Amino acid sequence: MANSKTRLGIASAPLEKPSREEAEEAIRTLLLWAGDDPTREGLKETPERVARAFEEWFSGYKEDPEEYMRRTFEEVDGYDEMVVLKDIRFESHCEHHLAPIIGRAHIGYLPKKKVVGISKLARVVEAYARRLQVQEKMNAQIANTIQRVLEPAGVAVVIEATHQCMTTRGVHKPGVTMVTSTMLGEFRKNPLTRREFLTVIGNPQSSMDS
């Protein structure tokens, strides 16, 4: 479980987590800064609601993704073919604007001796998604966690997502999907293995196979 204190940059002193009351007061300040009255009827309970929403949206900081992967199974009768879990829907938030990132993750791995329950793969995605994120970083975090714990012959993770920081502000370009991938082991070294995985998940970006 992640510590409630987070070290940032090169500072040696940990930053203390604010109290719930301090968080709600900060939300009132933002409402006032936006131009509205946080004391009016419709907004009076908004700080409390937003704080509760933050607890849910960012619950991944309290979770250890590797812990989900610890219970593995070795009685697989020598199975060493590809295991794929696709279309894992997730909701995250970008660390630059706190805007939603809505997408799907596809995971594949080539087991050597160990496999894991498929729900655990989905939980790893959720644990990283429920943090402030950059899609590329989240992609690598998921793949590296699976590689460290399962020690397979290879891991592939592809993420397709829309970023509300692009569709609702800035350039205002709806309908744009960002696709990222992390290929480790055989998925990186062997074009045939990589192509098989991309075919199974629907080949979201053919250029990945080039």
For the chain, strand residue ranges (E) read 72-73, 83-94, 100-110, 115-116, 132-133, 154-163, 178-185
Q: How many CB atoms lie within 10 A of CB 148?
A: 11
How many residues does the structure list for the chain? 210
CB 169 within 8 A of CB 144: no
Chain-centre distance of CA 35, in angstroms? 33
Helix axes 46-57, 20-34, angle to 10 degrees: 120
Q: Which among 116, 59, 50 has a CA at the least distance from the CA of 90?
A: 59
Tell which phi-psi region holds residue 35, choosing left (phi > 0), alpha (psi between -120 and 50) or beta: left
Residue with tokens 């203390």: 16
Q: Which residues are catalytic?
A: 94-97, 135, 163, 165
